[in-house]
C-alpha cells in the first residue's frame, strides 16, 4: 500500500499536536484513508528545547531544504508561523510540486490570495483548516457543508487566548496579566501574545472566514480591529450589572450589497448562547439562506485540537494524491475567477447599542451636559448607573444607549471628552443584543 510522506517544518506546540495525533490515531487514520500518513522529517532551528512530544532523532533536521527536496515527501506542513521564512518555504514547496498544509492565519490573511494562485499554477492545494477556530472544522463547513447556501453572516469568538482572559477576569476575578500568564502556560497564545490581545489574530481569522463565506478575495486590511488591552475590570463588573457578558467578538456581515468585518470587545446578554462559551473555547454562528442559523463550537486553540485540524487537511489532500486527481475544491470555496470585490461597509456606518463609561467630576449639571450632547447627536440613553462619590478626582458614570450610528457616537464622545468636567477619555464598548442582527 502506498504511504503518503509528510514533512513538518516547526516543532512547536501545534507541531507536537500533529505528531501525537498521527502517532496515536495511526490505525483510525489508515482505516479511513486506505493508506498510512508517514511522518518522514521534522525541521526546526532549535532541536534541543524540551517538548511534550518526542521525535525519533533520525527524523530531525535543522534544514527545511531537506524537506523541500525529498522526493518521498508529498505534503509539507508549515507550522513555524510568521510572514517571512514561512512564506518562502510555502512558495518553494508548491513550486517543487508538493502540497502544503498550514495553520498560519497571519500569513494567509496577508498573502493568502497570492499563495493560492501559486498553488493553482502548480496544480497543488493548500490546506488551512487549523488557521481558523483551532480544532473546529469551520473551513470545511463553509467550503463544503454549507456550499449550497448564500451566507450573509459569520459571527463569533475566534481567539481562545482573549476568551480565556475575559473568562478568568469575569469568573475568577483575576487581573489581566495573571489571566494572560495562564493562557500562555496552556499553549493557547501566539508567540507574540499582542496578536491575541489586540484582536489581530481574530481579525486574521475573520478575514479568511469572511472570504470563504461571501465569495471575496481575502481582505485583511478591511477588518476594523480593537483588542481587549484597554478593558478595565470596572467595565466587566458594570456590564454584569446591566446583564451583559464581555466577549471579543469577530463579526462579518454581507448585507445590502456591502461587506463589514470587525473585531472588538462586545457586550452580549448573559443568556446569549455565546455568553456561555468560556475559556479557550471558540464558537461561530453562521447564517445561510437555506440552512438558517448554525453554531460550531469547540476548542479554538491548543496542541491536540489544532493538531486534529491539521491532520484532517492531510487526509483530504492524501485522498486526492491517492486518487491521482487535481484539487477539486477551490481554496476560498468560490472558483478563483468568480471571487468578487464587494463594496465595504466602514465601522462609521454601523448602527448598534453602546456602553459608555465617563470619568467625570461629581458636580451638579454634569449628567445633563453629557446627555444633552448625546441627544444632539441622535443618541438615546436606555439606562444609567452612577455609584459612589468622587474618588481620586472623578466618578464613573455608566450609560447604555439604544441603537445609534457609530459616526454620531464618535462625534458626541469627542465633544464630551473635551469638557472640563470630563477627566479621562470615555470608555466605549459596543453591545450586540441578538444572535445575528439582520443588518447593522
Ligand atoms: N493564539 C490563538 C488563540 C491560537 O488564542 O486562539 C489559535 O489560533
pLDDT of residue 434: 61
What's the grid cell of residue 301?
486553540
- Residue 288 within a domain: yes
- Residue 437 within a domain: no
Angle at Cα 328 formed by Cα 304 and Cα 31, nearest 5°? Answer: 45
Pocket test for ligand 1, best of 138, 179, 198, 301 (most atoms within 8 A of CB): 301
What's the grid cell of residue 144?
463544503
pLDDT of residue 386: 86
User: Are 246 and 332 within one domain?
Assistant: no
pLDDT single digits (tens) 60-97 = 999 999 999 999 999 999 999 999 999 999 999 999 99
- Residue 394 within a domain: yes
> Is the shortest distance between the CB of 331 and ligand 1 below 6 Å?
no
Read off φ and ψ for residue 397, nearest 5 degrees.
Answer: -110, 125
Q: How many domains are contained in the chain?
A: 3
pLDDT of residue 14: 97
- Residue 355 within a domain: yes
User: Are 39 and 152 within one domain?
Assistant: no
Cβ atoms of 234 and 173 closer than 8 Å: no
Q: Which atom of ligand 1 is nearest to the CA of 163?
A: 5
User: Are 189 and 129 within one domain?
Assistant: no
Across residues 171-177, what is the average pLDDT? 87
pLDDT at 309 over 50: yes
What's the grid cell of residue 259?
461587506
Picking from 338, 362, 388, the residue at the C-terminal end of a domain is 338
Distances (CA, A) of 349 to 297, 394, 410: 30, 32, 11
| Catalytic residue selected from 205, 247, 345, 369 | 205
Share of the chain above pLDDT 90, in %: 90
439: left (phi over 0), alpha (psi -120 to 50) or beta: beta
> Is the shortest distance between the CB of 163 and ligand 1 below 6 Å?
no
Q: Residues in the chain, how many?
A: 440
Cβ atoms of 145 and 121 closer than 8 Å: no
Across residues 404-409, what is the average pLDDT? 98
Domain extent at residue 417: 349-431
d(CA 270, CA 283): 16
> Is the shortest distance between the CB of 77 and ligand 1 below 6 Å?
no
pLDDT of residue 172: 84
Burial per residue of 265-282, b for 16 or more beta-carbon CB atoms within 10 angstroms, e otherwise: bbbbbeebebbebbbbbb
Residue 436: pLDDT band (50, 70, 90) is: very low
User: Are 148 and 289 within one domain?
Assistant: yes
Picking from 288, 315, 338, the residue at the C-terminal end of a domain is 338
> Is the shortest distance between the CB of 201 and ligand 1 below 6 Å?
yes
**Chain centre distance of CA 44:** 26
Task: Calculate how far, in angstroms, residue 162's C-alpha sits from the geometric centre of ligand 1.
Answer: 9
Choose the weakest-confidence range: 13-22, 122-131, 187-196. 187-196
In 292-438 the beta strands, taken as DSSP E runs, fall at 292-299, 351-360, 381-386, 395-401, 404-405, 422-431
Torsion of CA 412, 416, 418, 424, to 10 degrees: -120
User: Are 144 and 271 within one domain?
Assistant: yes
- Residue 229 within a domain: yes
pLDDT at 160 over 50: yes
pLDDT single digits (tens) 177-217 = 999 999 999 989 998 999 999 999 999 999 999 999 999 99
d(CA 162, CA 157): 9
> For position 42, which CATH number holds?
3.40.50.720
d(CA 256, CA 254): 7
Residue 435: pLDDT band (50, 70, 90) is: very low
Task: Calculate how far, in angstroms, residue 31's C-alpha sits from the geometric centre of ligand 1.
Answer: 31
Strand partners, 261: 252
pLDDT single digits (tens) 217-255 = 999 999 999 999 999 888 999 999 999 999 999 999 999
Share of the chain above pLDDT 70, in %: 97
User: Are 292 and 150 within one domain?
Assistant: yes
Read off φ and ψ for residue 204, nearest 5 degrees.
Answer: -55, -45
User: Are 94 and 161 within one domain?
Assistant: no
Average pLDDT score over the chain: 95
- Residue 15 within a domain: yes
Picking from 287, 319, 338, the residue at the C-terminal end of a domain is 338
Across residues 114-131, what is the average pLDDT? 98
**What is the secondary structure of 207-245 as a DSSP string?**
HHHHHHHHT----GGG-EE--STT--HHHHHHHHHTTEE
Cβ atoms of 412 and 379 closer than 8 Å: yes
- Residue 343 within a domain: no
User: Are 51 and 147 within one domain?
Assistant: no
Across residues 351-363, what is the average pLDDT? 94
User: Are 144 and 259 within one domain?
Assistant: yes
pLDDT at 440 over 60: no
User: Are 120 and 243 within one domain?
Assistant: no
Across residues 52-63, what is the average pLDDT? 97
Cβ atoms of 401 and 327 closer than 8 Å: no
Burial per residue of 356-372, b for 16 or more beta-carbon CB atoms within 10 angstroms, e otherwise: bbbbbebeeebbeebbe
> Is the shortest distance between the CB of 299 and ligand 1 below 6 Å?
no
pLDDT of residue 1: 60
pLDDT of residue 2: 87
- Residue 112 within a domain: yes
Cβ atoms of 72 and 170 closer than 8 Å: no
Q: Among 406, 264, 285, 261, which Cα is nearest to 342's?
A: 261
pLDDT at 427 over 70: yes
d(CA 207, CA 212): 9
Strand partners, 271: none
> Is the shortest distance between the CB of 432 and ligand 1 below 6 Å?
no
Task: Calculate how far, in angstroms, residue 155's C-alpha sits from the geometric centre of ligand 1.
Answer: 17
Residue nearest to atom 7 of ligand 1 (CA): 301
Task: Calculate how far, in angstroms, residue 396's C-alpha sits from the geometric centre of ligand 1.
Answer: 34
Active site residue 205: yes
> For position 235, which CATH number holds?
3.30.360.10
User: Are 274 and 169 within one domain?
Assistant: yes
User: Are 196 and 312 within one domain?
Assistant: no
> For position 383, which CATH number holds?
3.30.70.260
Amino acid at each position: 500500500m502506498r504511504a503518503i510522506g509528510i514533512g513538518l517544518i516547526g516543532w512547536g506546540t501545534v507541531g507536537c499536536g500533529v505528531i501525537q495525533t498521527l502517532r496515536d490515531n495511526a490505525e483510525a487514520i489508515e482505516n479511513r484513508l486506505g493508506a498510512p500518513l508517514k511522518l518522514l522529517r521534522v525541521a526546526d532551528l532549535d532541536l534541543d528545547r524540551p517538548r511534550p512530544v518526542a521525535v525519533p532523532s533520525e527524523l530531525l533536521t535543522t534544514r527545511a531544504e531537506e524537506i523541500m527536496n525529498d522526493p518521498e515527501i508529498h505534503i509539507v506542513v508549515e507550522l513555524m508561523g510568521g510572514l517571512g521564512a514561512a512564506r518562502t518555504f510555502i512558495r518553494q514547496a508548491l513550486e517543487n510540486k508538493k502540497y502544503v498544509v498550514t495553520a498560519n492565519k497571519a500569513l494567509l490573511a496577508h498573502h493568502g490570495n497570492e499563495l493560492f494562485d501559486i498553488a493553482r499554477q502548480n496544480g497543488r492545494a493548500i490546506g488551512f483548516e487549523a488557521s481558523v477556530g483551532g480544532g473546529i472544522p469551520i473551513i470545511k463547513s463553509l467550503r463544503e457543508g454549507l456550499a449550497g447556501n448564500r451566507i450573509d453572516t459569520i459571527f463569533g469568538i475566534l481567539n481562545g487566548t482573549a476568551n480565556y482572559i475575559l473568562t478568568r477576569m469575569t469568573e475568577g476575578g483575576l487581573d489581566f496579566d495573571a489571566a494572560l500568564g495562564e493562557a500562555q502556560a496552556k499553549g493557547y497564545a501566539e508567540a507574540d501574545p499582542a496578536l491575541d490581545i489586540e484582536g489581530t489574530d481574530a481579525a486574521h481569522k475573520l478575514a479568511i472566514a469572511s472570504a470563504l463565506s461571501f465569495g471575496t478575495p481575502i481582505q485583511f486590511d478591511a477588518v476594523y480591529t480593537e483588542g481587549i488591552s484597554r478593558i478595565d475590570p470596572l467595565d466587566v463588573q458594570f456590564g454584569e450589572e446591566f446583564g451583559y457578558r464581555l466577549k471579543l467578538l469577530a463579526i462579518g456581515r454581507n448585507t445590502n450589497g456591502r461587506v463589514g468585518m470587525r473585531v472588538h470587545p462586545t457586550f452580549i446578554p448573559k443568556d446569549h448562547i455565546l455568553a456561555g462559551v468560556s475559556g479557550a473555547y471558540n464558537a461561530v454562528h453562521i447564517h445561510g439562506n437555506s440552512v438558517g442559523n448554525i453554531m460550531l463550537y469547540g476548542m479554538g486553540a491548543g496542541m491536540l485540537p489544532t493538531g486534529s485540524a491539521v491532520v484532517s487537511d492531510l487526509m483530504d489532500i492524501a485522498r486526492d494524491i491517492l486518487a491521482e486527481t487535481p484539487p477539486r475544491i477551490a481554496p476560498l470555496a468560490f472558483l478563483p475567477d468568480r471571487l468578487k470585490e464587494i463594496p465595504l461597509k466602514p465601522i462609521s456606518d454601523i448602527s448598534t447599542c453602546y456602553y459608555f463609561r465617563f470619568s467625570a467630576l461629581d458636580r451638579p449639571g454634569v449628567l445633563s451636559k453629557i446627555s444633552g450632547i448625546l441627544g444632539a447627536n441622535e443618541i438615546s440613553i436606555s439606562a444609567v448607573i452612577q455609584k459612589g462619590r468622587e474618588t481620586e478626582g472623578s466618578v464613573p458614570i455608566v450609560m447604555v444607549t439604544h441603537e445609534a450610528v457609530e459616526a454620531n457616537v464618535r462625534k458626541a464622545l469627542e465633544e464630551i471628552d473635551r469638557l472640563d468636567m470630563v477627566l479621562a477619555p470615555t470608555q466605549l464598548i459596543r453591545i450586540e443584543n441578538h444572535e445575528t442582527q439582520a443588518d447593522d
